[in-house]
Amino acid sequence: MAYIVRDGVKVYFEDHGDGPAVLLSHGFSASSTMWRDQIATLRDRYRVMTWDMRGHGQSDYPDDPAAYSEDESVADMAAILDACGLRRAVIGGLSLGGCAALAFHLAHPGRTSALMLFDTGPGFKKDAARDAWNETAQAQAGRFETDGLAALSGSAAVTIAGHRDATGLAHAARGMLAQFDDRLIQSLPTIAVPTLVLVGSEDVKFHPATDYMAGKIPGARKVIIDDAGHSANIDQPAAFNDAMHGFLDGLAL
């Protein structure tokens, strides 16, 4: 358990095990605690790093809205790898964390050994779809400002997140959950590293995005986890871990 500090902002991360490196990013309003089962199953063969995004869990909740952005998340991820003495890692994430993984690959393809994209999407090409998503993100931010942590959903990943308050989540909704361009979705055909695209069978809102990514990323492996929702790793940890191990163990790392 440690912190990196960038521009005065402390970002919490954990570093477990030895072997080929894997960096996992959590979903919006969750935290690194969501990866407990994955750490337990991977740490004997892999070096697993997890972290709390700005405004989440044990990281800082800066007051400046400009401190929350996709670019800041990517820079935090790179700084964690640097702090661990690593040049490259398998980059994985769920939901917002999957977007962060795609953004990291776009900025640092040479530091990405492979990608694991769980219950996530690559953003939108059409302005209207992006605007509708952003309206939802703005509404979530407003609820956090009005209701505090009571605005959180009751998902297992969120329940164990350990946030101190909701101020950071409001900023993160506006600056990190919101989408501002189509760079990620346009980057999919350029991905040249092995990629796992996974979704829960009950996470139906993310099935079209999963199918799209699997079709656009060259050689991508698609997996559907039965009887799992948006937090597939928590809903069905054994099946999720089997799929993840099957992917990682086949890589030449």
CB atoms within 10 A of CB 71: 11
**Sequence letter at residue 161:** A
- Res. 196: pLDDT tops 70: yes
168: left (phi over 0), alpha (psi -120 to 50) or beta: alpha
The tally of domains found in the chain comes to 1
Closest Cα partner for 88 from 57, 113, 59, 115?
113
Give the pLDDT score at 252: 82
Q: Is residue 113 part of a domain?
A: yes
Q: Is residue 207 part of a domain?
A: yes
- Res. 1: pLDDT tops 90: no
pLDDT digits (tens, 9 = 90+) for 34-57: 999 999 999 999 999 999 999 999
Q: Is residue 46 part of a domain?
A: yes
Q: Are 142 and 177 in contact, with CB atoms under 8 Å apart?
A: no
Pairing mode, if any, of strands 112-118 and 89-94? parallel
* Domain span at 89: 2-248
143: CATH: 3.40.50.1820
CA distance 221 to 202: 19
Give the pLDDT score at 161: 75
Q: Is residue 253 part of a domain?
A: no
Q: Which residue has the tokens 């820079």?
A: 75
Using the 8-state DSSP alphabet, how is residue 201 labeled? Answer: T
Give the pLDDT score at 157: 63
> Could you tell me the pTM of the whole model?
0.96
Q: Is residue 132 part of a domain?
A: yes
Residue 220: both structure tokens together: 């991508």
Give the pLDDT score at 155: 67
CA 25 to chain centre: 4
- Res. 86: pLDDT tops 80: yes
